[in-house]
Each structure stands twice: as structure tokens, then as C-alpha cells.
Structure 1
Amino acid sequence: MSELNGKVIVVTGGASGIGREASLQLSAKGATIVVADFNEEGAKKVVSEIEAQGGTAAAYKVDVSNGDEIKALIDFTAEKFGTFSGIFNNAGIGLVKPFLEMDPASYHRVIDVDQHSVYYGMYYGAKKMVELGVKGTIVNTASIYGTIAAVGSFNYNAAKAAVVMMSKSGALELAEHGIRVVGVAPGFINTPILGEDEAAKKFLAEQHMRGELIEPEKVASAVTFLFTDAASAINGTTLPVDDGFLSFKTK
């Protein structure tokens, strides 16, 4: 497949989970990938996987909560590969606490990583695209919890709701430059972030229509599609990848 030949795409949180799968799938369609993650060794491993399947990629260590580091990441990408076509703002964390135990440090940590990093990726990414004359694509990872509330997730709910609106507002403002902005809202994904409690994972799985956790490659497939020209009419919206959770949740 060569739908993304010539495209250079940054994937934050690319060392594992959805980010790893997206890096592999985007590469398989011809894109050059910069795998950006705080876990540099993990990012390098994904690069090796991409190269083993015949793709081109580079690893980059980044703290996504630091705007200067995101700017440097974008600059590195454009300088190394000669262009910059898009960014998947995917890096994120969770920190579950009851609201009355959610001290300012706990609140700001999640906001900094899950919300502010998306702004930095959009801002510096769009600036670079305009500078280069590239009509690119920005995809942001939101969540089902950007739409509904969950106990213990005040910070996460706030951050992901902001990502939904930033995707809408960014698309509106950047349309004149030919830059498209979309979001994805995953349901409960089968990654280590869910922990090892099998009963808890079973409960989460049962929230989906099929009663199963969603594998990260399913979200990555949606993300990869959103970067292609076939998705050019999808703009300013956030696509649920939740197996019906937001439409049919009963528990």
C-alpha cells in the first residue's frame, strides 16, 4: 500500500499501545514516521520494527508536557526528512483519584500531559505546516471520557473534553490553510494501562456492545484511515472507536 507515500508523520506516545500500532500501520501505508516518546528505548524498538517491515522511521525522546520539547520535535522532523505532513497527538496518562483527593499536583499532571501536549502539537505542528506550505493532517486522541463523566477521573474528563473541543476549534481556524484536524475517542483498550485486575477488565469489557476489550490496532486502523485522502471530508469531529459505548452504554 502506498496511500501515504511522501508523508512524514509524528506519533507521540509511539512506544507502546495505540501509538505503537499507529506507527506500524502508518508506515505500512508508506509514511515516514517519527516515533516520539519519553521511553526512548521503547521508541527505538518500534523504529526497528518499522525498518524490519521495510519502512523509514526515527526515534525521538520527548516530554510532551513541555512545549519547547514539542517544538524541537517538530523542527527535528522537518529538518531530518525535509518536510512535515502530520502529527498524531496520542501521548497520555491516567491518574485515578476521588475528586476530594485530587490535589492540584494530581490535577495539573494529567492536564499537562493529556491536554496541554495536544495544544503544543497542534500549535507548533500547524505553524510548521504553514511555514512549509503543507496541507497536512492533525489527529488527536480524545476519549469516551471526553463526553461522559467517570468517578475518579475529574482531571482526565476535563483534559479529554478539552481535546474534543480543540479538535473542533483547530479545524475551524486552520481550514483556510488546508490543514485538517480530527479526533478519535477510544473506548476501553486492551493495554497495560488497564492494570492486572481481571475482574475489573471484565467489567470494562462488558461496557462494549460485543463484551470485549478493544485491541489497540483497531484504534490505530481508524487513525491511519484519518490520515489518508479517503478521509478528506472528515474534519473537526471526534470519531468514537468505542464499540457502541457512547450510544448504548447500559451499566
Structure 2
Amino acid sequence: MESGASGLINLGLTEAISALAFEPWVGASSARRSGLFPLIVGESHYGDPSTEITINVIQENAIEGRMAFFTRCASLITGLPGDWLQPEEFWRRVAFANLAQETVDGPRSPSQWSALLAGAAPLAEAVERVQPTHIVCLGNKVWEALSESGHLDHRPFSATEGVDICDSGMLNGRPLFWTYHPSSFGYFNWQEGSRCLGSFLKETGVDREEINEFIQFGLASPPPSYLLAGFDQ
């Protein structure tokens, strides 16, 4: 699926990732060849069960609609306020998939937990095909489902002093980090989350220049230096 207006393209992984019912969003940036390329993992879709629902949601709600949930995701990943970022450029640099591979009625639906558990194996296959540099899970339900499924290898790391990390592990050979869900008011804080993520990336051996390059890519305008401090703490 391609959008001439935004310059974004999904890389046509539907056939390659046969276990996924919903084709993931895969940004078209050359960052897939070098540099950071995170896979962001959410919980579940509601309503439309079409195979391209994830792609449509990112295009319509994250890029064109600038929905708050996706703006918080971008701030978490980059460590910068949403106003400093161009959504179309950010989403060129990342992949996104929901863990559940069937739609549910809502976040408290009785069927959501079983759908999350069933999505672990397809996600592991998606990681193999998409080849992200790292994985960011949104919410403890995603983390717990991956843990209970047996697909996650727990590998806690030593966070920077003063940084309260959530938890981490490895999924199909890729380092994985989870933080609070962007919709969990009172828990989610993108500034703290970005510091945790920065600590996690450095612990897993990511070069500081790679982090800088990713953060500054696609900014609407040059930020003051203090806004780039999040990943340094």
C-alpha cells in the first residue's frame, strides 16, 4: 500500500508474514538497511477485521489525524514533544503491529487476553521477517502475554542510575523493552519512558551517534539542546 501524499509505503510483507492476520505497518525508510529501526507493538484492534487495518490506522490516525495515542508513541521513541516531529517522517522510520491477530470488542473485552496470547507466535515470526533493531511493547498486557506464551527470553539489564526501567528481554533474537501503555493515564510518561528506552538501547550496545541520528531525523525544526537530553540521562 502506497501513499503519494505522504511518501509512505508498506513493504508488501503480507505473504512473507503468513501467520499475521493483520499486515503490519512497515516504514519505507532506508533505516531498515542501517541505523535504528524499532518495531512498536500495541495490544489489539477494534471493529474492522480487514487485513490492512493496521496500515489504514497508521495512515489515517497517526499521520493524517495525529491522534494523541500515536503522538505519545512518537514522543516515547524519540524523547521529543510531538510538536517537534513530522508524523510522516517518524512513521517512515518504524514498524508497528498489534499483538492480537483478531479484533476484539474493547480493551476490557473477555476475549482480549486469549487473542493476545494467540498473537505471540505470529509476532515472533513477524520479527524474523521485519528484522527490527529492537522492539518496544506498549503496556504490561502485551509483556505478560509474551511472557506466558514462552516466546520471550527474560534478560533484565542494569538501567542508568535514577532511571526506573520497566522490564526487558529478547524475542526471536531482538532486544525487547516494555513501558506503560500510552493510554494509561497516571502511569504513562513519555519523558520518563524515553529515558528508560535510551538507557535500554545503550545497555544493548547501540552507538550514541545512531540514537542521535534517529532522534533528529524528520524534525519540523531544530530543537533546543535541552530537548535532546532525554536519551543522555
TM-based fold match above 0.5: no
- Greater fraction helix: 1
- Pick the TM interval, shorter chain: 0.3 to 0.5
TM-score normalised by the chain length of structure 1 = 0.35
Higher CA-based Rg: 1
